[in-house]
């Protein structure tokens, strides 16, 4: 039941994404796991929406860092290019 609500939400929600989303690493927590799936990247909002509509996550995140290869499996391979400055108040 809850998973189908998330599927409906992700299929219609306005996704707030950075303009350079193709250079961000995405991570998500599936419904059936306590661990996270990392090292994901998407070229467009439509590609991300298709993915999360088919496999709705419980939690979805993107990095504050910008990488040349955000889907690379190790931090050394990602090619860090910079980060957003964020304050958690």
Instruction: Report pLDDT digits (tens) over 66-83.
Output: 999 999 999 999 999 999
Single pTM value for the model? 0.91
Report the C-alpha gap between 88 and 78 in whole angstroms: 25
Report the C-alpha gap between 72 and 6 in whole angstroms: 28
Handedness of CA 71, 4, 47, 15 (dihedral sign): negative
Low-confidence ranges of the chain (pLDDT < 50): none
Which tokens hold the place of 55?
């496999």
Q: Tell me the chain's radius of gyration from C-alpha atoms.
A: 14
Which tokens hold the place of 56?
């709705």
Burial class (CB in 10 A: 0-12, 13-18, 19+), 83: exposed
């Amino acid at each position: 039941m809850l998973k189908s609500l998330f599927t409906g939400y992700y299929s219609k929600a306005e996704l707030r994404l950075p303009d350079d989303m193709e250079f961000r690493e995405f991570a998500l927590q599936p419904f059936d796991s306590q661990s996270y799936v990392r090292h994901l990247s998407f070229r467009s909002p439509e590609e991300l929406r298709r993915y999360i509509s088919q496999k709705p996550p419980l939690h979805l995140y993107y990095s504050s860092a910008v990488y040349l290869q955000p889907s690379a499996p190790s931090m050394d391979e990602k090619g860090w290019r910079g980060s957003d400055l964020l304050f958690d108040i």
